[in-house]
Structure 1
Amino acid sequence: MTWSSTVHTTISTDTEPSIIVTFADAKYIFNASENTGRAFLQSNRNWRKTKGLFFTQARVEKTSGLCGLIMTLADATFDKLGLYGPPGLKQILASTRFYNYRDSIDVQAKEIPWTSSSDQSHEPCFSDANVTVYPIPALPFKYVAGASDHLVSPSIPLTSSGAQEPELPEKRKRDPSPDSPRKRLNPGNLVPGRMALSEELLRELKKKDVEPATFSGAIADEYRDMILRTMYPNTNPPEDPTAEVKINQKKKSRAGMKRKAGESPPPTTSNIEVEYMNTEVDIDTRRRSRNTLPNGFHKQLPKFSSDLPPSSTPPSMSYLVVGPHYRGKFDVEKARELGVQGRDRGKLTQGETVTFQVKVGEEIVERMVKPEDVLAEPEKPSAILILDTPSPDHIPSLLATFSESEFYRQLWNESGSSTQGQQITLRAIYHLCGDDVLEHEQFRILMKGFGPDVHHIIASKDHCPDPVTFTSAAFSQLRLNSLDEKVFPLPNHSLAPRKDYLALPNLPPKIQLMTSSLHMTVRPFSPPALDPVAAAIDKFHPIMSGSEILDLSPQMQNCVRAAKANVKRQIAAREVEGASPPVGKDVGIIPLGTGGSAPGKYRNVLATLIRIPEWGNILLDTGEGTWGQLARNFGLHRQDGQYDSWQALRDLKCIFVSHIHADHHVGLAHLLARRKMLDPPPKHPLYIVSLRTLHLYLRELSDVQDLGLFDPSGNGVIPILSESLHFRNTDSYPTTGMWQVGGDEAWLDFETSARNAKAMCNYLGLEHFRTADMYHYCRCFGCNFKHKDGWSVSFSGDTMPTDNLVWLGQDSTVLIHEATMANEEADIAKKKGHSTIGQAVNIGKKMNASNILLTHFSGRHPKLPPSVTREMMEVAPDTKHVVVPALDHANLTISEMWKMSCYVPALLINFRETNEADSETDALPIWTKRSRDPPRRVQKPAPIKKLNLVATG
């Protein structure tokens, strides 16, 4: 049996380390940070057959990619998934209940306690036919076991033989208010998606004014389990194509026996299979029906707390992954000499002793053969270790584990001599090192203790380079950089580390830096090496390193020259006319993500940064990976004194989140966690304008990790309810219907929210910040804000065309409008609550917007929808409206948005040529044994029509 381990993502500006262990029938993923799902698209690896996800920390840095991955796996017809991690994992997952729901999958989450009694110190947290996984806690302090060895209780099973199964009161699905008692559900796990509840929890749920936030201990744990089962009930499991075919084969066979003469035969199985296999997953599905929800579902979760002492750095959970045992090779010649025949050989391979009669000379004798007589020595299982060491304070805990535990001493000894004579063969260690860890002498002692034969793969921010993760998008940006260096800046990266790890003394002999797509076959063993497919796909870094040159086609070069000449002519004409610059000319409009529903190879999910010189920044929506996009745009460590991502984060004073769908806010928590790292802290608050469900989610997440919501300085995160800023200004929240707030918590107070909004406007120099309800089959708000200088920006969020936005943003300087679908997809757009490109442009015209920035493009159009070109051609003679297609990392200002009209022909040529390059790399052979999937078919791009666009503005 062959199995391997691969570095999916490494430590970088936009990713955290993620390791994939692969068998022929299963995958196991360790950590799922932001961009884990998108990295699959870049690497040409796939997530098929994933059985379990393991997390080293219950923090947003390690788990922010989990929700996107669960939804992706469920939509890819996965029906079961296991999650394993430290205490707090269930709280993180349960906090996503308002936007992370899939009825086709059963997600089982298990929390691993930080401490255990001595006889359980090496119990596995997971085991199947492929791997046995042992958790290794690392605490940033010395823990002395006392009366209670288990500081965190193990997870309560979803069903218990001792639990009674009374009926559970629940709410009606169509009423958003969680307060009134509802009809009862069928009890227990007799019904799919339901679980048995204890009498204590049931009594609480029957109360009219149930408050889950008051639950504690075992009842709080059980309540979280119930919420997770509600989120992933597995009531609508995906169909098995193989089973479908088998059923139809049986039907066909029976029908054939019963068919009368002259009857036509039924459809063939092959036709049925083809029809089934052609079904595509719809990434823009509008709504999913949901079972009735338990009482209290919309209220705050029980408060999560840990019994561990407080510390400046979090504890971590490392994992020893041990592969299967293999019997020794069967010696055929020896068996023949002993006279072992037929079935007896099979019994010997199963470990049984066999007895049989053989003829020796002239006599018939009875012979007994033992397995060891014909089998070679069994092969020791191979193993890898994922070792997460967040700080030097964790090193003593790890040293104690490997030096004091009899089980782990077989892997480690203080002398550093070989450990390969033990029961497990440790092949490699993936080190996830925090700041100053690798330079700590005790850590190098720890590494050397594993012996000279183990490969050490190091992820350390100071010692690893910072290459670009999404090289296809970066290569496209590199080509566009020749068009306009300011509008299309190169993504910030570094091919050289800040520190040379080889300069450190006392390192183990087999040590190397962790890089994405570093692949190692664990059995049969081959050392870690870069996946050649990944190297072939990467067309960006060879050019940046100087090993290759950027070779633009003659057609692209001609378009670049023509675009630059066109821009130059327009600038000269404006100077002759004496045209004054527009109001707010230096205000930055920077799309960080422009895709809809799910991240793609070339577009991340939605986020748009508004930079207001001398006032601060506003962020409109924060899809997963927004921090990484921000950091790639501005850089983490600028040596030239220029504006970097930390300063951009420090200047951030407002985040507007339009609605609760995941692609619009999953990156928010990571941004807040990064803001908490600023030293010195910001001197002003960060205001978040959004719905109650978004604010509630953040409050629940803050129980696990401090996100700045309760900063005593007053400069933390301040909530503002979107409803309190509605342009109709009713001075109170709606109390009925779809647009009611949905809660009565003190922090929802209308007047408080309005005061916070006024203070936010003062910080940003705004005359007003207003919202309007959009038309998106769920509660979604658009916004408009106007600056004292006279310019204004409107943002649609997700919506079908609505006059609410027109009234809200009349005469806007910039309209940022979703344009999910192409014009010919109007029916699909209506079905899913989105707008077409033409509809977005029409809203901009009705609003009298000077500039119309189109964004949130569907994954059906990964680069540039053809409708964009047509719309730009139609409005080109209209000097009142500039239509601009949004691209990730396009650095625009209000005064220069008109330039994009000149650039469209070059954009189309660039997209066509990079699409052809994608076709070539998609056809490359996949790493041996890594996947059996055939290369994807890539449709030949349509020929580009000659364009003659006139810049306006």
Structure 2
Amino acid sequence: MNWSVSVLSAHTADTHPSLVVTFDSGKYIFNTGENTTRAFLQSHRGWKRSRAVVLTRVDTRRALGLPGFLMTLADASTARMTVVAPQGLMHYLASMRLYFYRNTLSLSPIEVPISRPSSSDAEAVYKDENMSIYALRLSPPSPSPVPIPTPIPSSTSAERKRKRPQTGPASLAPAIPQTFLSKISSLSNLDPERLRGPERDWWRWIVVERMFKDLGVPAPEGPKKESRAAKKQKIGTTRPAEASQEEKAAVLPGWWRRLPTFSLGSSEPIPSNGAPAEGPVLSYILVGPRVRGKFNAKRADELGLGPGPLRAKVARGETVTFTVTLPDGTKEERTVTPQDCLGASEAPAVVAILDVPSPSYIPSLVTELKSSPVLSGNDGEKYNIRLVVHLCGDDVWGNQYIQGVVRCFPASVHHLVSSKKHSPNPVTFTSAGYAQLKLNQLDPDMFPLPQFNLEPEFPLDGTAPPDLNIQPLRSNILIDIRPPRAPVHEHEADERDLFHPGIIAPAENPVLGETTAERFTRAKEIVKEKEERMKQAGRPAKPGDDVLVVPLGTSSAMTTKYRNVSGTMITIPGYGNILLDAGEGSYGQLARSYGPGEEGVEKVLRELRCIFVSHAHADHHIGLARVLAEHRQLDPPPPPLYLVANEPILLYLSEYSDLEEIGWRDGSVRTISSETLAVPSSDSRMDSIHSHYRYKLIIDVSLGSQETVESLYAALGLKKFLTVSMRHRVRCYGCVIEHLDGWSIAYSGDTMPSMDLVNAAKNATLLIHEATMADEEAEMAAVKAHSTIGQAVDIGTKMNAENILLTHFSARYPKMPPSLTEPKDSNSAQPIIAVAFDNARIRIGDMWKLNTYLSAIESSFEETPDADDETEKGDKS
């Protein structure tokens, strides 16, 4: 049985390491940091036959891409999936309940206790016919014993029947007493925060059971999940309410209230800034199958076992009994075992994946390695250790680690090392990078090159002993475990990478075709002519001309190779930055665009004053936790960051902050509920929908006091910050930002055409509006509560906006949306209409240039043939 390990993504500006272990019958993904799904698209690897996701930590570096990846799998008709992770997994999954619902996916969560049960030292945390996975529990030294929660008692085998082989030890599955189910069913106003002991864990399991199919948890009495037939009946409605989420308020009492606080029992105070508090981490030992020896056909013939079904059984490892005729004509019954005909079996191959966040974890890791039955040989079996992957945090890789950890393994083992200081930072998403490289030829200020470095800060070979097989972990490395081969770089990835050759050797790799080069030249000439005319006419600068708009993601619902999901940054000179939505990968887009360090992405985050999140759909907010986590690690601490969001977002972040400090408790993030800034809605249906649900938030910061709002105004020089209830399938708000300098920006979020936005944003300097569908898809746009391109332009025209920037395009258009309009002069009475592109930097005063460039940009994308462009996999927005 052959198998391999491939590197899906490495430690770069926009990704963290993800590995794919591949057998003929299944794939296993280790760690799903941000952009895991996009990395699959870029690498052209498929996710079909994926069986399990295995996480070493539950935090923004290892797990933030999990919800997006699970949604992608579910929408690609994956029926079953297992997720293995440390304690905290169930809390993380349950915190997604307000934006994640896939009743077609059967999920098997395995939450590994951080303390090893004494009775199961050698028990695999996951096992199927391909491999067994064993956990190594790592933790930093603690000045005082940390109380460890008692694992949930096991369920009986009758309660947890599976079609597949058992995927984890029974001690990891819950046995929820019927008395508890009856208790929560009888409470009409259940407050999960008041649950105690194991009840808190039982509640999380029950919540997650409602999000997926066949979790295997008994259901409390009450309303049942909605049938698929009932859901189909609702597809044709244009009511802008969310059938699958908002109506789930009645599914469980307490559904809309905060989860019980999750804690591993640490009594250590959380530092106000700097690195996040250290907690337990898992590493894993992967043991492949023992391969039967070669079948000896000659010996089988001697035993009278000729070709046929019986011989096939013995070859499969079964013992058979049959009757043979001896030379003298007599007959006898003969039993043949596999040992009679099979050669010596091949010892299982082993892969180790070690996650070491800081040097303080090294002693714990060494202890775990020495006590591991697989690695120490204490179980009496023989193993072939082929590969060790080292996921090293800052300052881990060095002599102490090499001598204490690396030399624990035989010299023949191959080592892949991920360490920020020892890793290069190439452009990960080269398709998008190449598109940006081409547009850079058109306007280098508007389309700056992505930041990258092909050489690490410190070469790994400067520290690696020559007698060991050590190399940096890079994306697109393939290691065949059986049959064993040394790591190789997959050259197919190089063939698809046009960015790096185009920028390193442009003479040999011209980026523009003849037609596009001609259109670029003509577009630049037109822009230059217009600039001359405006200069001669003495056109004065308008308020807001110097405000910078930076789209971080322009795709709707799901990412493509060329476009990330929703996010737009507004830079106000002299004041700071505002982030409008933060889909998965938003931080990576900032880091790739502005580069690393104090003068790059850290400066952007330090000057970030406000984040507005429109609604709780995954493509608009999954990346928010990473932005907040990175912001909090700035040292010295930056000024307060104001977060304007509706209550489902605030509830989710409050719950997520139990897993990782994101500035929620120390006052570095100041929250303002969108509801407190909302203008009255003219749509009575939306008011009814929004007032029907109430959330109980247990958070220590303000939800929008007048003092907090005034502090926001002062920080950004604002005259007004209003929110507008939009027409979407969940509670969604747009916003109107008016500056003291006399300019204003309106942002739609996701919505059908809304007159409330028109009335609230009259004469806006810029309208940023979603344009998910083409004009011929108006009916589909209504069903999904989105807008067409023409509808978005109509809204901007009605509000008399000077400029309209269209974004949030369906993944049906992986590169760019359909052609829009003829170029508009900057002095035209009609709005200037422009299309947003990822990582562009557009001054509002230059919006007319982007409009002028449209035809040339369209030519640029058309001349980049890509037979494997993504096809629409279904909107999830």
Corresponding residue for residue 205 of structure 2: 225
User: Alpha-carbon deviation of 1:118?
Assistant: 4.1
- The TM-score normalised by the length of structure 2 is 0.88
User: How far apart, in 2, do the equivalents of 1:404 and 1:855 lie?
Assistant: 55
Q: Is the 8 A contact 2:351 2:386 kept in 1?
A: yes
Corresponding residue for residue 313 of structure 1: 278
Corresponding residue for residue 889 of structure 1: 839
Corresponding residue for residue 372 of structure 1: 339
User: Alpha-carbon deviation of 1:429?
Assistant: 1.1
Over 3 Å counting, the alpha-carbon distance change for 1:858 and 1:563 in structure 2 is same
User: Alpha-carbon deviation of 1:665?
Assistant: 0.5
Structure 1 residue 600 corresponds to structure 2 residue 555:
no
Q: Is the 8 A contact 1:699 1:709 kept in 2?
A: yes
User: How far apart, in 1, do the equivalents of 2:852 and 2:333 lie?
Assistant: 93
Corresponding residue for residue 149 of structure 2: 152
Corresponding residue for residue 253 of structure 2: 295
Q: Is the 8 A contact 2:671 2:701 kept in 1?
A: no
Once the two structures are superposed, the pairs formed by residues 272-671 of structure 1 within 5 Å of their partners are 287-288=243-244, 292-308=250-266, 310=268, 312-342=277-307, 344-349=310-315, 350-352=317-319, 357=324, 359=326, 370-410=337-377, 423-504=382-463, 506=465, 509-546=468-505, 548-637=508-597, 643-671=599-627
Which region of structure 1 is more displaced relative to structure 2, 422-431 or 618-627? 422-431
User: Alpha-carbon deviation of 1:746?
Assistant: 7.3
User: Alpha-carbon deviation of 1:387?
Assistant: 0.9
Partner SS, residue 493 of structure 1: coil
Partner SS, residue 690 of structure 2: coil
Partner SS, residue 456 of structure 1: strand
Corresponding residue for residue 863 of structure 1: 815
User: Alpha-carbon deviation of 1:509?
Assistant: 1.8
Letter aligned with residue 80 of structure 1 = R
Letter aligned with residue 346 of structure 2 = E
Corresponding residue for residue 244 of structure 1: none
Corresponding residue for residue 678 of structure 1: 634
User: How far apart, in 2, do the equivalents of 1:816 and 1:159 lie?
Assistant: 55
CA deviations 1:190-248 (Å, max 9, x no partner) are xxxx996531353245234321012232101100000000111359xxxxxxxxxxxxx
Letter aligned with residue 597 of structure 2 = H
Letter aligned with residue 460 of structure 1 = S
Q: Aligned residue pairs: how many? A: 821
Corresponding residue for residue 78 of structure 1: 78
Corresponding residue for residue 757 of structure 1: 709
Partner SS, residue 63 of structure 1: coil
Partner SS, residue 810 of structure 1: coil
CA deviations 1:567-606 (Å, max 9, x no partner) are 1111111111011112122211110101111111111111
Q: Is the 8 A contact 1:389 1:431 kept in 2?
A: yes
Corresponding residue for residue 701 of structure 1: 656
Corresponding residue for residue 123 of structure 2: 123
User: How far apart, in 1, do the equivalents of 2:378 and 2:594 lie?
Assistant: 44
Once the two structures are superposed, the pairs formed by residues 28-39 of structure 1 within 5 Å of their partners are 28-39=28-39
User: How far apart, in 1, do the equivalents of 2:511 and 2:530 lie?
Assistant: 28
Corresponding residue for residue 272 of structure 1: none
Over 3 Å counting, the alpha-carbon distance change for 1:160 and 1:205 in structure 2 is farther
Over 3 Å counting, the alpha-carbon distance change for 1:884 and 1:568 in structure 2 is same
User: Alpha-carbon deviation of 1:346?
Assistant: 3.9
Letter aligned with residue 305 of structure 1 = S
User: How far apart, in 1, do the equivalents of 2:783 and 2:734 lie?
Assistant: 20
User: Alpha-carbon deviation of 1:336?
Assistant: 2.6
Letter aligned with residue 289 of structure 2 = P
User: How far apart, in 1, do the equivalents of 2:533 and 2:744 lie?
Assistant: 26
Once the two structures are superposed, the pairs formed by residues 43-192 of structure 1 within 5 Å of their partners are 43-141=43-141, 151-155=148-152
User: How far apart, in 2, do the equivalents of 1:195 and 1:400 lie?
Assistant: 32
Over 3 Å counting, the alpha-carbon distance change for 1:652 and 1:225 in structure 2 is same
CA deviations 1:307-335 (Å, max 9, x no partner) are 35648423210111111122111111232
Over 3 Å counting, the alpha-carbon distance change for 1:144 and 1:688 in structure 2 is closer
CA deviations 1:149-202 (Å, max 9, x no partner) are xx2333556888799xxxxxxxxxxxxxxxxxxxxxxxxxxxxxx996531353
CA deviations 1:104-150 (Å, max 9, x no partner) are 1121212101112444222100111111111111111269999x8xx
Q: Is the 8 A contact 2:136 2:284 kept in 1?
A: yes
Corresponding residue for residue 6 of structure 1: 6
CA deviations 1:625-648 (Å, max 9, x no partner) are 00001111111137xxxx411111
Partner SS, residue 731 of structure 2: coil
User: How far apart, in 2, do the equivalents of 1:597 and 1:357 lie?
Assistant: 67
User: Alpha-carbon deviation of 1:755?
Assistant: 2.8
User: How far apart, in 2, do the equivalents of 1:865 and 1:322 lie?
Assistant: 47
User: How far apart, in 1, do the equivalents of 2:776 and 2:692 lie?
Assistant: 35
Q: Is the 8 A contact 1:204 1:210 kept in 2?
A: yes
User: How far apart, in 2, do the equivalents of 1:840 and 1:742 lie?
Assistant: 31
Which region of structure 1 is more displaced relative to structure 2, 293-302 or 550-559? 550-559
User: How far apart, in 2, do the equivalents of 1:755 and 1:749 lie?
Assistant: 12
CA deviations 1:59-89 (Å, max 9, x no partner) are 1221111111111111111222111110111
Over 3 Å counting, the alpha-carbon distance change for 1:363 and 1:80 in structure 2 is closer
Q: Structure 1: which 5+ residue stretches go unaligned?
A: 164-193, 236-283, 413-420, 923-935, 939-953
Partner SS, residue 391 of structure 2: strand
User: How far apart, in 1, do the equivalents of 2:704 and 2:730 lie?
Assistant: 25
Over 3 Å counting, the alpha-carbon distance change for 1:153 and 1:28 in structure 2 is farther
User: How far apart, in 2, do the equivalents of 1:411 and 1:637 lie?
Assistant: 47
Partner SS, residue 687 of structure 1: strand
User: How far apart, in 1, do the equivalents of 2:769 and 2:612 lie?
Assistant: 14
Which residue, out of 851, 855, 858, partners 1:908?
858
User: Alpha-carbon deviation of 1:781?
Assistant: 0.7
Letter aligned with residue 700 of structure 1 = E
Q: Is the 8 A contact 2:57 2:281 kept in 1?
A: yes
Letter aligned with residue 296 of structure 2 = D
CA deviations 1:855-899 (Å, max 9, x no partner) are 00011112222242xx34588883441111000011011121111
Letter aligned with residue 415 of structure 2 = H
Q: Is the 8 A contact 2:673 2:703 kept in 1?
A: no
Corresponding residue for residue 645 of structure 2: 690
User: Alpha-carbon deviation of 1:662?
Assistant: 0.8
Q: Is the 8 A contact 1:720 1:754 kept in 2?
A: no
User: How far apart, in 1, do the equivalents of 2:637 and 2:738 lie?
Assistant: 28
Partner SS, residue 798 of structure 2: helix
Q: Is the 8 A contact 2:651 2:697 kept in 1?
A: no
CA deviations 1:28-74 (Å, max 9, x no partner) are 11111110011111111111111111110011221111111111111
Q: Is the 8 A contact 1:719 1:753 kept in 2?
A: no
User: How far apart, in 2, do the equivalents of 1:403 and 1:832 lie?
Assistant: 56
Partner SS, residue 786 of structure 1: strand
User: Alpha-carbon deviation of 1:846?
Assistant: 1.0
User: Alpha-carbon deviation of 1:356?
Assistant: 5.7
User: Alpha-carbon deviation of 1:617?
Assistant: 0.7
Partner SS, residue 47 of structure 1: coil
Partner SS, residue 526 of structure 1: coil
Letter aligned with residue 552 of structure 1 = L
Q: Is the 8 A contact 1:195 1:229 kept in 2?
A: no
Letter aligned with residue 231 of structure 1 = M
Q: Structure 2: which 5+ residue stretches go unaligned?
A: 161-173, 216-239, 271-276, 873-877
Partner SS, residue 834 of structure 2: strand
Q: Percent identity?
A: 38
The structure that has the greater radius of gyration is 1
User: How far apart, in 2, do the equivalents of 1:886 and 1:288 lie?
Assistant: 30
User: Alpha-carbon deviation of 1:770?
Assistant: 0.5
Over 3 Å counting, the alpha-carbon distance change for 1:453 and 1:808 in structure 2 is same
